[in-house]
């Protein structure tokens, strides 16, 4: 993707993103310029181009933080800046969680029942075994296999990006995923 195309696609949303966090319009423009300079410098080294959106927003957040640090190096960063980093993963996790339930319904019956009882209803694996007439080890095995099948379904449809702590930063439709993803996920925004 060319830098010109990225400018066309991202300038307006990035400007809004920065303007919510920085009051001075001239500073907003300066930050946007810094962001696009960093994008131009680093785009050739980007390994996973399907994650470009989250990469660009991470650069933008870092430029905003740098802006505040340069202005007042001894002052605390505004809480909204720090919270936007923390809450984005939570929001992304919640949004992705909305995709899971429709996908659970697509699992083969024996796995769907086990995953539903253990994950969605919160039963212990011992109680799952009792409900399904299985031993504890049988219930554990079935739940584990169901989770694995669910993970495979999710990764077939979505590319998921996490931070170094395992929090979900971004997810989007996986390149080349099948058209059945949208029906599996409902309105989650990945399909």
- Work out the number of other CB atoms within 10 angstroms of the CB of residue 37: 13
- Between residues 184 and 50, the one the model is more confident about: 50
- Distance between CA 134 and CA 125 in Å, rounded? 10
Question: Across the chain, what does the average pLDDT equal?
Answer: 77
Radius of gyration of the chain (CA): 21
What's the fold here for domain 1-77? Rna Polymerase Sigma Factor; Chain: A (1.10.1740)
pLDDT digits (tens, 9 = 90+) for 136-146: 999 999 999 99
Question: Is 189 buried (19+), middle (13-18) or exposed (0-12) by CB count in 10 A?
Answer: middle
pTM (2 d.p.)? 0.46
Residue 26 to residue 120: CA distance in whole angstroms: 49
Q: Give the whole-number percent of the chain exceeding pLDDT 70.
A: 66
Report residue 185's pLDDT band, with 50, 70 and 90 as the boundaries. Answer: very low
What confidence category does residue 92 fall into, taking pLDDT thresholds of 50, 70 and 90? Answer: low
Domain 88-191, architecture per CATH: Orthogonal Bundle (1.10)
Mean pLDDT of 98-122: 85
> What does the domain layout of the chain look like in residue ranges?
1-77, 88-191
């Amino acid at each position: 993707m060319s830098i010109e195309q990225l400018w066309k696609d991202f300038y307006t949303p990035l400007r809004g993103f920065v303007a919510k966090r920085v009051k001075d319009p001239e500073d907003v423009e300066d930050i946007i310029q810094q962001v696009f300079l960093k994008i131009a410098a680093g785009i050739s080294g980007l390994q996973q181009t399907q994650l470009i959106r989250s990469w660009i927003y991470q650069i933008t957040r870092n430029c905003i933080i740098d802006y505040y640090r340069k202005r007042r190096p001894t002052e605390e960063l505004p809480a909204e800046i720090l919270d936007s980093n923390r809450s984005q993963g939570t929001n992304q996790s919640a949004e992705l969680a909305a995709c899971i339930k429709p996908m659970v319904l697509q699992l083969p019956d024996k796995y769907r029942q086990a995953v539903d009882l253990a994950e969605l209803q919160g039963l212990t694996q011992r109680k799952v075994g009792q409900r399904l007439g299985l031993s504890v080890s049988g219930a554990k095995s079935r739940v584990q296999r169901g989770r694995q099948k669910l993970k495979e379904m999710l990764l077939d449809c979505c590319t998921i990006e996490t931070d170094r702590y395992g929090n979900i930063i971004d997810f989007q439709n996986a390149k080349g995923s099948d058209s059945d993803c949208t029906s599996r996920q409902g309105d989650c925004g990945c399909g």
